[in-house]
Amino acid sequence: MKIIRPFVVNTATVNSDVPAPAIASNAWNSGTTYGSLVDRVAVFSGTNVTWYQNLQVPNLNHAPASSPTWWRKVADGYKLWDNATTYSSGQRVEAPTTPGGVALRAYESLQNSNLNHAVTDPAWWVDVGPSNRWAMFDQVNGTKTIVRDTMTVSFQGIGFPVQGFTGTGRVDSIALLNVTAASARIISTDAITFATIYDQTFSLIDGGGITDWYAYFYEDARYLRDLIVLDLPPAPTPNITIMLTNTGGEVSVGTVIVGQQRDLGATQYGASIGITDYSKKEADEFGSYSIVERAYSKRGRFTVWTDNERVPALIDLATQYRATPVVWVGADSMAFTALYGFYKDFNVEIAYPTMSICTLDIEGLT
């Protein structure tokens, strides 16, 4: 069993091509000639925003929503909060939680005539979750960053602290959780020489449910939900790029973890994986059910064998991360045994002269 200790995500060192909150200057203009294939425009509907990317040049007076050969949809979002705009009840915006900060969260107006009230004022606004751009870093696996076709996330010169201790370290592991994509490419380059030290592409299409030719031709494509990469060369302060692709479809990811791994010992067969469902299911007096779908979390129970001489370090590690979410990987070759969360129960039995048995109950985040 291994754990991946996440590096603290710093908004100054992480970047992505997921659109940032839109402002008026981002709006599509019928009189503007778009001359680059990287041009992106926003189409507003109240405070809701749909982003499009240019497909042809020169592109003049082709409305994005009705011109699929000229524009492709990239993502949805909300306008950036503006203190000079009057908002109606139910309208949503994106805004920083601190003045001058990055817009990490989305907020919904609770009242009409909402003018120049800070989004942190609970009488006027309610926090409805992370902005689309930052949902993959919010420690909630069920909130996802969603775009179309491709998504690129990059970390520049990672050397900031790992969650749970103050030192800096080397990146050797990546976890992509709750993913929808056909493939993932991971590139690591040296931050000083820019030489490529790792470049691998992983297929995320799962053929495990295809058991006959009928299923091969007629079953919908199924994607692996999680990708665990444990073989990155441990270079100091690398630049890391993650590219997710699903041409013609949705690309989404719930959690992106970049960090350091630590081996805990050998996982014994008999480990169990399941989920805890928080959906509400109530039956009336006639047996008819009312169902409200809610979030769920993964859970796991593992037995790990480890050398007695490693027990003090293992106990210290468990103490250190008792309130810090990390990625627990039950088996390297089985990504579905990975859980991002905390241990509910941790116990070490000094079973033999040279070996101990550790049992862990892991509760994943929703």
- d(CA 330, CA 226) in angstroms, rounded, equals 13
Whether the pLDDT of residue 98 is over 70: the answer is no
Contact 250, 150 (CB under 8 A): no
Residue given tokens 């081996």 in the structure block: 263
- CB 122 within 8 Å of CB 97: no
Percent of the chain with pLDDT strictly greater than 70: 95
Residue range 104-133: average pLDDT?
A: 93
Instruction: Please give the C-alpha separations between residue 263 and each of 112, 177, 221, 267, 308, in angstroms, as whole numbers.
Output: 55, 20, 34, 11, 14
Residue 96 has pLDDT above 50, yes or no: yes
**Could you tell me how far CA 134 lies from the centroid of its own chain?**
8
pLDDT band at residue 169 under the 50/70/90 scheme:
low
Q: How far apart are CA 125 and CA 136, in angstroms?
A: 23
Q: What is the pLDDT of residues 67-84, one digit of tens each?
A: 999 999 999 999 999 999
Whole-number Å distance between alpha carbons of 327 and 339:
6
The lowest-confidence range among 121-130, 231-240, 264-273, 284-293 is: 231-240
Domain boundaries, given as residue ranges, for the chain: 2-13+136-364, 14-135
User: Quick check: 116 and 125 in contact, CB under 8 A?
Assistant: no
118 CB neighbour count, 10 Å cutoff: 13
**What letter does residue 112 receive in the DSSP assignment?**
S
Interatomic CA distance for residues 306 and 263, integer angstroms: 10
| 3-class DSSP state of 98 | coil
How many angstroms separate the first and last alpha carbons of the chain? 22
Distance, CA of 162 to chain centre: 18
- In one-letter notation, the amino acid at residue 325 is P
Cα–Cα distance measured from residue 186 to residue 202, given in angstroms and rounded to the nearest whole number = 8
pLDDT at 158: 58
Distance between CA atoms of 147 and 16, rounded to whole angstroms?
Answer: 11
Question: Can you read off the two tokens belonging to residue 194?
Answer: 């820019």
CA-CA-CA-CA dihedral for 32, 37, 43, 49, to nearest 10: -150
Q: What is the pLDDT of residues 351-365, one digit of tens each?
A: 999 999 999 999 999
Structure tokens belonging to residue 84 = 């000079």
Say if residues 290 and 282 touch (Cβ distance below 8 Å): yes
User: From CA 30, how far away is CA 71, in angstroms rounded?
Assistant: 13
Cβ-based burial of 333 (10 A; exposed 0-12, middle 13-18, buried ≥19): exposed
Extract the tokens encoding 77: 């979002």
* pLDDT computed for residue 101 by the predictor: 66
**Does residue 37 or residue 10 have the better pLDDT?**
37
d(CA 323, CA 346): 13
Name the β-bridge partners of 180: 252
Q: What is the pTM of this model?
A: 0.88
Q: Are 161 and 168 in contact (CB under 8 A)?
A: yes
Task: Say if residue 275's pLDDT is above 60.
Answer: yes
* CA–CA separation, 125 and 223 (whole Å): 37
Residue 353 and residue 359: Cα distance in Å, rounded? Answer: 18
CB atoms within 10 A of CB 88: 12
